[in-house]
Structures are given as C-alpha cells and as structure tokens.
Amino acid sequence: MPANYEAEMRLDVKVPMRDNIKLSADIYLPRTQGPFATILIRTPYSNNIDPIIQNARRLANNGYACVLQDCRGRWDSEGDFYPFREADDGYDTQQWIGQQDWSNGKIGMAGGSYLGSVQWASAPHRSPHLTCMAPRVICCDFHNGLAYPGGAFQLNVMLTWGMRSNARTGQSIDYHNWTEAFRSLPVGKMDEAAGRDLDFWKDWIQHPSYDEYWQEFDDEKRFGEIDAPAFNMGGWYDLYAPQTFINFNGLRQHGRTPEAKQSKLIVGPWPHALSASTRTGDIDFGPHSLYDLDGEELRWFDYWLKGIDNGIVDEPPIKLFIMGINQWRDEWEWPLERTTWRKAYFDSGGHANSLIGDGHLSFSEPQGAENDQYTYDPRYPVQTLGGNNCCSPHIVPWGPYDQRPAEMRGDVLCYTSEPLAEDLEVTGPIQVVLYAATDGHDTDWTAKLVDVSPTGYAKNLCDGIIRARYRESLSEAKPLEPGTIYEYTIEVGVTGNVFQKGHQIRVEISSSNFPRFDRNPNTGNEYGVDNELRTAQQSVYHSKAYPSHILLPAIPS
C-alpha cells in the first residue's frame, strides 16, 4: 500500500549560508517516525504559493521530508538576488539538510525552469547528500540556451522574466505596453523604458559574446563533475527543448558515476508548462498526450532515495511523443541510431518570396535560379507566431499556430516540397545550412520548419536564428564584408513529427522573428547602443556551388 502520512509544517526556518546570509525554508515532514529522505525545491517565485505547497504536502504524504526554500534575495530570504548565481547556496543548503535530525542524509531535488537550474548549479559541487535530481524545462548554458541563442538576443523572455524577477517579491507585468517596450531603443536601456533599472539587464547586454561572465553559469562544461542522475522533462514547444536533450546526453555520456549515467528523459507535445493541457497553441493533441509527470518523478525518487526496486532504471531511458501520429514511443539514444540524415535543398525561379512565390524544397540538388532576394527592414520585423517561447503566452503566444500570416510577407522566403507520397517521420535535431549575403556588416538569418496540411494550414514545428557576426563562434564577433557570400549553420531546434501522406514540408527563411528575438539593426555597431535602424538587402543562394538546404533526421518506418 502506498504511504499516506499527514504533514507537519515548520515555516520560515532560517538556513545559514557560508557568508552568514540566512535563507528562508518551509519544511514539510511526514507525521511518522523519521528520519526521512528529503526533496529539496529552491525557488525565486515564493515558497508560499498553492501549487508548490500542494506538491510539498503530496511528497510528505508519501513519506518524504520536503524543503521549500526561497532563493537569496527573494521573498523571506536575506541577501540580494542575482540570476543564476545559485551554486553555493544550493550546496550549503544540502549540507545543512544532511545534518538535521529528521534527515536520513539522502536528498533529491525537484522543480522546473529556474527551479531546475538551481539543481544543475549545485550538482557539480557534489554534496555527499545529493542523490538524484528531476529538473524540468531548463538549460545549463545560459548564453546559447537562453540569452543569446545563435548569438541573437532572446528579447521576449529576457525582458519579461527580468522584470518579474527584479523585486524582492513578485512584479506584475500585465499592465505594460509590451508592443512599445519591445521596440524601445537602445536595447541597453530597454529595461528603463519598461520601468525598471536592472543591473543584471545591463550585464546581459554588455556581454553578447560567450565570455567569462557566461562561463560562470555554464554547467554544460561540468557534466563530468556530477555524481547524481537526472530525470529530465521537456516539451517540443518549450523554450529549452534542445537543451533538454543536451542535458540528458551530457550525463549519459559524461556523468562522473555509473549512477549519473542512468539519467532519463521524457518529451511531450508541450510548451514550458509541460503536461498541463491537451492543447498547445492551435493544436489539441488529445488526452493521450497528457502524462503523469509527478507520478513518474515519485517513482524516480522512490528508486534512488528509498531503494524501491520499481524497475524505472531498467526501462528505455527516453520517452518521446511523436506528433502527426500522436503516439508515445520509447527510445534508447539521441539522436536515434536508425536516423537517415536527408538533405532537402532550397530552389526557386528567383522569386521564393512568400508562400505564393516559386520557392521549392527538394531532395534533389537545386536546378533553378542562383538566388532569392528580399529587403529586411527592422522597423517592420516579421512577427513571432507561436513557437518555443516563454513565459508569458498572453504576451507572446507559445506552441503551434498557422504561419500563413507571416508567410504572406515578401521578406519571408518559403521553400515548400511537393505533397508527400507516403508518411515521413522527422525526429531529431534540425539544421539549416544557408549560403547568404547582405549589404551591411551584420544582420540576422532565421529558419523555421513547417508542416503544411492539404488544407494549407502551416504548423510550425521548430525554428532558429543566427546573428551573422557570430557565424564562426559565439565567443568572438566578426563583422561581415558587404556583398560576400558566407556559409551559416542555423540550429533550428528539435522535433518529433510525422509529415503525413499528402502533407508538405516547408522551410521559411527570413531575418527577423520579433519579439521572440531582438531586431538586428544591420549596422554592425557595438551591441545594445544603437538608436539607428538600417534597412538591409538580403540574398539567399541555392546553386550547385552554394547548395542551401535543411538537414532532416528521417526515421525509417
């Protein structure tokens, strides 16, 4: 029979850190004889809100101690909050828990988004008490995974989340005019235009390259120092979809112990909120798409913290929801070993502008015109229509939406396949190799993978961006030579989708996806200081000499 204990609460317990700052923790204990394995949840969003309290009580009901801790500088904790600097506080808290009379010395960590990042931050410090983790929807490299994917600033999430997270308590952002705020210039003072003076905003803008500032927070470099296994949970339409797989592989391949290499992964057709609804964006994926993540997490904790042999580590380590056919499937590795990597080439008669142009996507090498051209005016950027956004869907929607409003623009190139003669599954990481030129010293290139149904509905699957100055390295900006053709590799994200018979594969190429990403002003100036916006003339090449294409991970049926 499962445990069903009543919960005892000990509220606002002050936990001392190494610098004598005290962090506030609410502790939930089962009303039975201890000591207990402990679940640690650290949050900047208050340990006194209903969902997190209900989770703590559920864990206590199941025989676990649960510690809900406010991060430094937030709510009832002392000190000053600075995003992502959580490693020492997490370790010190684990050491404190291990010394309490109600603790049996074993700790698991839980939580998603920032509550997941604090798990990764503390893990390389290897507290002897940290036994396992269950991080949801988060990255470990905050430069490429959050702030500057492909070198472009991820404006929407950085500004809205930054505004929410600045005050000691919560900050409502629902009354801002975000249409105006996102367009204010220069970017370095956008926080002030939105009503706040954020020290960390200034730091983010002053460090557009991957440098020592971002290295401090980059736990991708530290997978080999981690003892504890992680149960990673993510969604195809989550902000951190690619990083969920990176984190999984990081521990499976480089974890310091055999236990760490037993990490697991589940990814569904979900946005950042994960399995909260059958519907994401426009699409209802059906009741089968929901998954009891809390139940799976409890099985994980029972195995590692209570020694219950429930078979969870003997199961395939990956569970994926394959869209299009809407089915769950177990897998053993990522990318899938049976993947056939197929190049689909861009081609046109020279007028691929918009979905009514002559752009074509083919598995044969290009035969048509040498290039397509368009004008990118950052005063009128292509609007974000869903996708891998976070964390305010009422401001910038997330998930799949009809992309045809964007695809009717002349500054969006559309390359569309013929209707498929049979189903084609595409599951894995997506890349676009683009040969392109611009008339300035910097610009952006965007790419989007779209599933087009026979009705014309254009469902976005994943998208990506590259800032041209970071084409060679995210650590060093190199200006362009105007008019020169360069090769760009755009990381378009990850997906698991069956393009069904009669559907078409479409790739969109443009230079903006706003306000998910900031607008490149096309000047080549130092980042964040521009008040000037310059119109750019863009050329995308697709000849035998410059074979622009998308690399699709095709899965045999």
Q: Which tokens sit at 515? A: 């306000």
- b/e per residue 237-263 (b: at least 16 CB within 10 A): bbbbbbbbbbbbbbbbeebbeebbebb
Q: Give catalytic residue positions.
A: 113, 238, 272
Distances 348 to 44, 127, 352, 458 between C-alpha atoms, Å: 50, 58, 6, 20
Residues 6+ apart with CB under 8 A from 433: 487, 488, 489, 490, 547, 548, 549, 550, 551
Residue at 21: amino acid letter? I
Report phi then psi at 151, rounded to 5: 90, -5
Rounded CA separation 505/415 (Å): 8
User: CA 365: distance to chain centroid?
Assistant: 33
Q: Which amino acid is at 14?
A: K
Please name which of 90, 124, 113, 135 lies closest in space to residue 230, comparing C-alpha atoms: 135
Could you identify the residue written with the tokens 């037993």? 262
Q: Which amino acid is at 65?
A: A
Distance CA 552, CA 549 (A): 9
Can you tell me which residue has the tokens 């622009």? 548
E strand intervals along 264-382: 264-268, 279-280, 283-284, 318-322, 327-331, 340-347, 360-362, 371-376
Q: Residue 483: is it exposed, middle or buried by C-beta count within 10 angstroms (0-12/13-18/19+)? A: exposed
Residue 521 structure tokens? 């002003």
CB atoms within 10 A of CB 512: 28
- 516 burial class (0-12, 13-18, 19+ CB within 10 angstroms)? buried
State whether residue 272 is helix, strand or coil: coil
**CB 436 within 8 Å of CB 483:** no
- Pairing relationship of beta strands 65-70 and 36-43 according to DSSP bridges: parallel
